[in-house]
Amino acid sequence: DSGVTQTPKHLITATGQRVTLRCSPRSGDLSVYWYQQSLDQGLQFLIQYYNGEERAKGNILERFSAQQFPDLHSELNLSSLELGDSALYFCASSVIAGTRGEAFFGQGTRLTVV
């Protein structure tokens, strides 16, 4: 158990809908990352937050957004969903920023868009 909790584990929704994925980082970790794992794109970095502020952005679509709350949990919002958004979405956390990628991953949320 990495200590990173993601909910829900599975999500099935229709095209055009909006969903919210939730992540609780390890206790004491200030940095949260979101990754998308799909068959065609592999593991792709989406976005990073550090202590409530956006720190880095990767291949995140405009239809997607995220935030980190004062209690350090994070949410990834996916809207106007398309079939191609079906993927496994991982959250990871680390103690501080500047760890050069060393992070602990949650078990992921599997999103299926039908």
Partner 1 sequence: AQSVTQPDIHITVSEGASLELRCNYSYGATPYLFWYVQSPGQGLQLLLKYFSGDTLVQGIKGFEAEFKRSQSSFNLRKPSVHWSDAAEYFCAVGALTNTDKLIFGTGTRLQVFP
Q: Which residues bind partner 1 (CB under 8 A)?
A: 2, 4, 31, 33, 35, 42-45, 48, 55-56, 58, 90, 92, 94, 97-108
Phi/psi class of residue 3: alpha, beta or left (left: φ > 0; alpha: ψ in -120 to 50)?
left
Q: How many Å from the N-terminal Cα to the C-terminal Cα in the chain?
A: 31
SS3 99: coil
For partner 1, the closer CB: 41 or 80: 41
Please state the closest distance from residue 61 (CB atom) to partner 1, in A. 16
Nearest to 65 by CA among 17, 99, 18: 18
For partner 1, the closer CB: 68 or 94: 94
Q: Which residue has the tokens 């350090």?
A: 72
Please state the closest distance from residue 15 (CB atom) to partner 1, in A. 25
For partner 1, the closer CB: 19 or 46: 46
